[in-house]
Chain A
């Protein structure tokens, strides 16, 4: 934990101490727990959010909102067995809600992310640009997949999540997740062939 985080945790603790039914020691522990969760999971949660939003600002907003919900339900922190799955589920619900509300997916594409990707590539700029466009097209085709297959495939892209964690997030079994991912990739291959992207 950095000095800044420690300071913030200390700053939050008196406020937590005045909260509903917790003693100061428990509140301080809760505050430190939340700070630890932020330090440990914020990047993974950002990727989960980004897999749906494809927009850096919206993904970050979703992560912040998720931690606000954690703060709101801080009294339940002690009951949570797997923080990672719990947080991923919160973020997942938030981004799906947002996506449902704003049904215009293409407008959300973030040009800054394109630029970031281009700068980090070792390939020539033209190739990198074509490749980036292709990847965007493939991600758009992923959105055309059936909901279950799409969700499993997107979460499988987040390397921090195991199949068991994806299954827990989506409320199903690991074997179901594996078959969903397999079906999603197969259907996506067919779509790519139709689009002529595989040549």
Chain B
């Protein structure tokens, strides 16, 4: 009984599957599908022709070539501009290093006087120069103005004139 039922169920399933698939094969478009497609194609064609863009005119193969050419040109402009800029602000002549003054009796370059080295003897100040002592008073000590601002918390001794003498 079960053995008979199995093929029957199988056949029933097959027929139902066929019926469902037939629904797909029997599906038909609404009338006038071809006309609608052709209308849309014509509209698309007209739209493309009304606004021809640059990429459509340039063949697709040439697009990468244009890209590479543009990139190369940009690089050349950047490098050229950079070189031109550096030459304008740093002329080709590099300043010569200061010449060593070789002493007449020295043994060689080790005993030479370098122009940038500190002087071995005190250098007198010129007449227009302002020395450190310009702030000093008559007694040789710098005077501190009473209204001068001090950092808070710093103890400052009073001026000598106000200090009581023992």
Question: With A15-B46, A198-B12 as given contacts, are A56 and B29 in contact (CB-CB < 8 Å)?
Answer: yes
Complex-state Cα separation, A56 to B24, whole angstroms: 11
B10 and A18 contacting across the interface, CB-CB below 8 Å:
no
Of the candidates B25, B37, B45, the one whose C-beta lies within 8 Å of that of A63 is B37
Complex-state Cα separation, A148 to B159, whole angstroms: 104
Complex-state Cα separation, A117 to B41, whole angstroms: 31
A71 and B45 contacting across the interface, CB-CB below 8 Å:
yes
**Smallest CB separation, A68 vs chain B (Å):** 6
B27 and A113 contacting across the interface, CB-CB below 8 Å:
yes
Total number of residue pairs linking A and B with CB closer than 8 Å: 118
Of the candidates B10, B22, B37, B49, the one whose C-beta lies within 8 Å of that of A189 is B10
Binary A-proximity of B1-35 (CB < 8 A = 1, otherwise 0): 00000000110111011011111110111100111
Question: With A35-B38, A142-B20 as given contacts, are A47 and B9 in contact (CB-CB < 8 Å)?
Answer: no
A43 and B28 contacting across the interface, CB-CB below 8 Å:
yes
In the A-B complex, list the 5 residue pairs whose CB atoms are closest, starting with the nearest. Answer: A138-B20, A157-B21, A189-B13, A157-B24, A135-B20
Q: Which residues of A contact B37 (CB under 8 A)?
A: 38, 42, 63-64, 67
Complex-state Cα separation, A96 to B16, whole angstroms: 25
Residues of A in contact (CB 8 Å), total: 50
B136 lies within 8 A of chain A by Cβ? no
Which residue of chain B has the shortest Cβ distance to A137 in the bound complex? B20
| Residues of B in contact with A, size category | 35 or more
Task: Please classify the interface of chain B as helix (H, G, I), strand (E, B), loop, or mixed, using the class held by over half of its residues.
Answer: helix
Binary B-proximity of A153-191 (CB < 8 A = 1, otherwise 0): 110111100000000000000000000000001001100
Task: Please classify the interface of chain A as helix (H, G, I), strand (E, B), loop, or mixed, using the class held by over half of its residues.
Answer: helix
Q: Which residues of B contact A5 (CB under 8 A)?
A: 34-35, 38
B24 and A154 contacting across the interface, CB-CB below 8 Å:
yes
A71 and B27 contacting across the interface, CB-CB below 8 Å:
no
A12 and B35 contacting across the interface, CB-CB below 8 Å:
no
Q: Which residues of A contact B46 (CB under 8 A)?
A: 15
Q: Which residues of A contact B23 (CB under 8 A)?
A: 117, 135, 139
- List 6 A-B residue pairs with CB atoms under 8 Å apart, sorted by A's residue number: A47-B27, A67-B41, A134-B20, A138-B17, A139-B24, A157-B22
| B:25-82 near A, CB below 8 Å | 25, 27-30, 33-42, 44-46, 48-49, 56, 59
B33 and A63 contacting across the interface, CB-CB below 8 Å:
yes
B24 and A198 contacting across the interface, CB-CB below 8 Å:
no
B13 and A198 contacting across the interface, CB-CB below 8 Å:
yes
Complex-state Cα separation, A56 to B12, whole angstroms: 29
Of the candidates A12, A134, A158, the one whose C-beta lies within 8 Å of that of B41 is A12
A interface list, Cβ under 8 A from B: 4-5, 8-9, 11-12, 15-16, 18, 20, 34-35, 38-39, 42-43, 46-47, 50-51, 56, 59-60, 63-64, 67-68, 71, 113, 117, 131, 134-135, 138-139, 142, 153-154, 156-159, 185, 188-189, 192-193, 197-199
Complex-state Cα separation, A157 to B30, whole angstroms: 20
Q: Which residues of A contact B21 (CB under 8 A)?
A: 153, 156-157
Q: Which residues of B contact A20 (CB under 8 A)?
A: 56, 59
**Smallest CB separation, A38 vs chain B (Å):** 5
B28 and A189 contacting across the interface, CB-CB below 8 Å:
no
**Smallest CB separation, B161 vs chain A (Å):** 96
Complex-state Cα separation, A6 to B18, whole angstroms: 39
Complex-state Cα separation, A70 to B35, whole angstroms: 16
A159 and B25 contacting across the interface, CB-CB below 8 Å:
yes
